[in-house]
Structure 1
Amino acid sequence: MTLQAVQQSTETLHGKVGRKSVIIGWLKLVRVPNLFTVPGDVIVGACLAAGEFNNFFSTTTALTIAVSLCLYISGLILNDWFDIETDRVDRPFRPLVSVTVYPPIALLVGVSFIIIALCIAICIGKMTALVAGAIAFAVVFYNWKARKIAILGFIVMALCRGLNVLLGATGTISALGNDVLTAIPSVVIIAAGSIALYIFFVSVIAKNETRGIPNLAMRLSVPVSLAGGLFALNYTVGVSWLGIFSCVAVTFAVANAVLFIAEGKMPERIGRLISYLILVQTVALIVVGHGVSDAVIGVAILFPLANAAGCWFYGS
């Protein structure tokens, strides 16, 4: 599609649905509530790699978060673009189906975000570029093929989140002048695995959000896997009462959200479980940092922001 054609299509679309509707359509397309769950992955990786939980924010961290957000947004856009035919039946309110966002333009924007992310990652360091490239590949592969193949889609989705934590670690390690993957501490790998495991089981449930409430065993898998991952992290760095209490509290919150679901409330609960990832990130920082720190506060404050955005936009 030529630039002139894109401009003409945009003008036509604005004429039909209005500029305000187009803006709202884009905000829905990128799942605004979910965007608040992205910086925490990077911050967890950065803090755990550096062993520093106060004065944690730097230019490198900000750039790494920008890379992560660009890749995440591209994934959301491509998700709806590849799913447009299914959404015509199951989710006719989605922006691309209702044409509040013009599909070819959405595809162009989605690809552009991947290119921008990779360019920024290259500027940060070789290791960051390598991990960002892996995430970009996983994002495209997931939306194009993986999600259509039973368990493979869940694995790739979880891998994206785990790699996102490693992305944060690589940015910090590159800034410290050590641009090799072997420099990533084992505690970062465990935290990335815990977050990936949580997203894996949330993805399993989300896959069936339009088909009713999943069975009890499937729902139990979310809090059980989360508890296992967080307590493994706690054990690795040295058990503390605050760490144990935090792990129990977030596991209870997740269990309450996933076990008691009223009919017709699945999409809302999936959105809540995704936002709870911020609490999981916060607990990981409390456990490894042995207490409340600037990083804990910085990530925790994203939770009410995600919930506020969730009042206006869907998150699943």
Structure 2
Amino acid sequence: MAALNIKAYLQLTRPANVITAIADIWAGFAVSGAAALLVSQNAETENAYVLSLIWLSLSTIGLYGGGVAFNDVFDAKLDAIERPERPIPSGKVKKSNAALMATILIALGVLAAFQVNLWSGLIALTVGLLAVFYDAWGKHQAIFGPINMGLCRAGNLLLGISVLPDLLPDFWALGLIPLAYVAAITMISRGEVHGKNKNALISGLGIFIIIISVLLFIAFLEGNAGWMVIPFVGFFAYMIFPPLIKALRLQQPQLIGKSVKAAVISLIILNASLAASFSGWWVGLCILILLPISLRLAKIFAVT
């Protein structure tokens, strides 16, 4: 029984999704150029950046895990009708316990970020507040809801970049990529229960095409052997388009759910593409290592 209870608490944090959040941090870390410093000849510099990467990875685990746990806390009554198998409505986890766990996770996430620098801590605090705001109110807003969710991901990427805070003014616009991508996923996901959301699916498809174009543009703009980023972007397209097109054709809740799942997991590939553009293909491959881990966890724990 204890093992089942632990699994229920873990389910609240969406472990497969947490891995994608770690990929955000690693991508931001690569964009900042800090990844290259990990292989420098200065042991003191290496240790400092390794420690910062660990703190930021722990931070996003707390922020994301706590944020999605609060999602189930605020949706407990609705889930009792639409998704009774979830931990809280099924009685496996008390609502009060879930809220306490979510609060502790977010607090620890913010605290971990402050171990890196002031800007990291402030960004983490903002992401945590945005996540709770989305769970409590934003998700019910047709237009602001997807933007709210996207801002959480944008902040997560910037959290990785904040390891070198002086670079935030130069790279803040990169946050628009995960913002748009996650906003599109959020729009699409609204058909998981009832289906028939053709307009959202078409909009999502259009946003995905734009994002792929932007990724390719950045790859060649940076000049780091842009052609070596093409396989990453191609893999990204391969993962997201087939399930989305199938969902668009039939508009069935189950197919929409599969499309959302594929898009969420593919955040890892999106991040790998960004990392490869700024720090080289080998850094992109390091982030791709997270993909099989996330896929494995997705077979054990629900993604949405």
TM-score band (shorter)? 0.7 to 0.9
**Which residue does 2:112 correspond to in 1?**
120
% same residue: 21
The structure number with the bigger radius of gyration is: 1
Letter in 1 for 2:107: I
Would you say the 8 A contact 1:147–1:153 is kept in 2? yes
**Which residue does 2:178 correspond to in 1?**
195
1:222 Cα offset (Å): 4.3
Choose the corresponding residue for 1:226, options 211, 214, 228.
Answer: 211
Letter in 2 for 1:37: T
CA deviation vs aligned residue, 1:11-69 (integer Å, no higher than 9, x gap): xxxxxxx2122112112211121111011111111121126447376011100111111
Segments of structure 1 that go 5 or more residues without pairing to the other structure are: 1-17, 174-178
Worse overlay, 261-270 or 149-158: 261-270
Matched, 1:288 2:273: no
CA deviation vs aligned residue, 1:230-258 (integer Å, no higher than 9, x gap): 13422431372222443244224311121
3-state SS, counterpart of residue 96 of structure 1: coil
Worse overlay, 75-84 or 18-27: 18-27
3-state SS, counterpart of residue 311 of structure 1: helix
CA deviation vs aligned residue, 1:127-170 (integer Å, no higher than 9, x gap): 11111111111011111111111111111100010110111111
Q: Structure 2 matches for 1:1-316, cutoff 5 A?
A: 18-50=1-33, 52-53=35-36, 55=38, 58-170=50-162, 172-173=163-164, 179-180=165-166, 183-184=167-168, 186=170, 188-215=171-198, 217-238=202-223, 240-261=226-247, 263=252, 264-289=254-279, 291-293=280-282, 295-316=283-304
CA distance in structure 2 between the partners assigned to 1:211 and 1:306 by the alignment: 27
TM-score in terms of structure 2 length: 0.88
CA distance in structure 2 between the partners assigned to 1:143 and 1:155 by the alignment: 13
Would you say the 8 A contact 2:17–2:265 is kept in 1? yes
Worse overlay, 108-117 or 223-232: 223-232
Letter in 1 for 2:281: V
3-state SS, counterpart of residue 97 of structure 1: coil
1:185 Cα offset (Å): 5.8
Could you say if the C-alpha distance between residues 103 and 169 of structure 1 is closer, same or farther in structure 2, counting changes exceeding 3 Å? same
Letter in 1 for 2:269: L
3-state SS, counterpart of residue 143 of structure 2: helix
1:194 Cα offset (Å): 1.3
CA distance in structure 1 between the partners assigned to 2:37 and 2:210 by the alignment: 29
Worse overlay, 212-221 or 147-156: 212-221
CA deviation vs aligned residue, 1:234-292 (integer Å, no higher than 9, x gap): 24313722224432442243111211136323323312210011111111112223x42
Would you say the 8 A contact 1:78–1:143 is kept in 2? yes
Letter in 2 for 1:241: W
CA distance in structure 1 between the partners assigned to 2:211 and 2:96 by the alignment: 39
**Which residue does 2:46 correspond to in 1?**
none
Would you say the 8 A contact 1:154–1:203 is kept in 2? yes
1:77 Cα offset (Å): 0.6
Letter in 1 for 2:265: S
Report how many residues are paired: 288
Worse overlay, 190-199 or 23-32: 190-199
3-state SS, counterpart of residue 281 of structure 2: coil
Q: CA RMSD in A?
A: 2.0
Worse overlay, 226-235 or 133-142: 226-235
Could you say if the C-alpha distance between residues 210 and 225 of structure 1 is closer, same or farther in structure 2, counting changes exceeding 3 Å? farther
